[in-house]
Amino acid sequence: MARPHICILFAGGTIGMIRDPGTGALRPATHVSDLLRDIPELQKEIKLDFRMVMNIDSSNMEPPDWTTLAKNIFELYDHYDGFVITQGTDTMAYSASALSFALQNLSKPIVMTGSLIPLGELGADGRNNLIYACLTAALDIAEVCIVFANRIIRGNRAKKHHESFVDVFHSPNFPFLGELGRPTVLFDWRKRRRKRVLHFQPEFETNVSLLKMFPGFHPEIIDRVIERGAKGIMIEGFGPGNVPFLTQSIIPQIERATDAGIPVVLANQMERGITNLRAYEGGYKALNAGAISSHDMTTEATLTKLMWVLSQTTRVDRIQKIMEADLSGELSLS
């Protein structure tokens, strides 16, 4: 049987960093391909190609970088059995969510991984993470996923959870897709199908705002966001999506934005939260004012999905329909 052919796309992150001798801080290395290729036991099982796409700290990752990654995969899509992307952990959940919208109807896996310690340092976790990611890219999976330690997580359900080797990412509102081990176990995942036609829409509208409610929040903040010309607004409300509606009410601002053709997506601040705008008066008033529910999507998935939708349409009714539809497993409809 032929070895699976996997392409590693390098996008930066700790896995390819070195420590600055002067400051002791980590910075991107100049040459990383040798580090990533130095896994001879993996080469026996999988045919690996390497492509340098970018080399940046993930805190500098921006939406155009998601587009660049998506375009690279699209161009190489028919030549490989799967893809592995290495990038920093800080914004990996955003990148994974964005790619799940830019590259829909997949017939092969796109696996993201990284590390907390550079590959060239003692005790590096990146070596095992890279091996597990490549093994996952050879499995019968057709999703964008994140692999850290031996866990396989749906990319648009993942959140960075902790700076620890085994618990960097978790999936608060959805089970893991699987775990690598003896044996490897897959739980609930999308399988490969050759007849699927890839849907490629890699653009994102960056002019959006993310606001978090807190006691004493000034409604004028939303006014300033509207006045600066934001194309979309995401608000993290209290509990299941409640917002102030008495003396510091933001209901008029939600109505103003919606009337101006600016969609307002209302989410929640809970780690394992589900937005339910019909549960309390504060959420219900926001719903009647035009707010769109994030349901059980993560903040990362909600924001990147809004940016993706806004690149295609400016009609609020159309935006609401797409935001509340399950496109790539990012939300539960029940």
Domains and CATH numbers, the chain: 5-200 (3.40.50.1170), 208-323 (3.40.50.40)
Q: For residues 316 and 318, what is the distance between their CA atoms, to the nearest angstrom?
A: 5
Q: For residues 150 and 136, what is the distance between their CA atoms, to the nearest angstrom?
A: 10
In degrees to the nearest 10, what's the CA dihedral of 250, 252, 253, 257? 140
pTM for the model stands at 0.93
Task: List active site positions.
Answer: 14, 89-90, 160, 280
Q: For residues 9 and 128, what is the distance between their CA atoms, to the nearest angstrom?
A: 17
Residue 26 has what pLDDT? Answer: 64
Q: For residues 107 and 143, what is the distance between their CA atoms, to the nearest angstrom?
A: 8
How confident is the prediction along the chain (334 residues), in pLDDT tens digits per residue?
688 999 999 998 777 666 777 787 766 655 555 555 567 777 788 998 989 899 888 999 999 999 999 999 999 999 999 999 999 999 999 999 999 999 999 999 999 998 887 776 666 777 888 889 999 999 999 999 999 988 999 999 999 988 766 678 999 999 999 988 876 777 777 888 777 899 999 999 999 999 999 999 999 999 999 999 999 999 999 999 999 999 999 999 999 999 999 999 999 999 888 999 999 999 999 999 999 999 999 999 999 999 999 999 999 999 999 999 999 999 998 6
Residue 23 has what pLDDT? Answer: 80
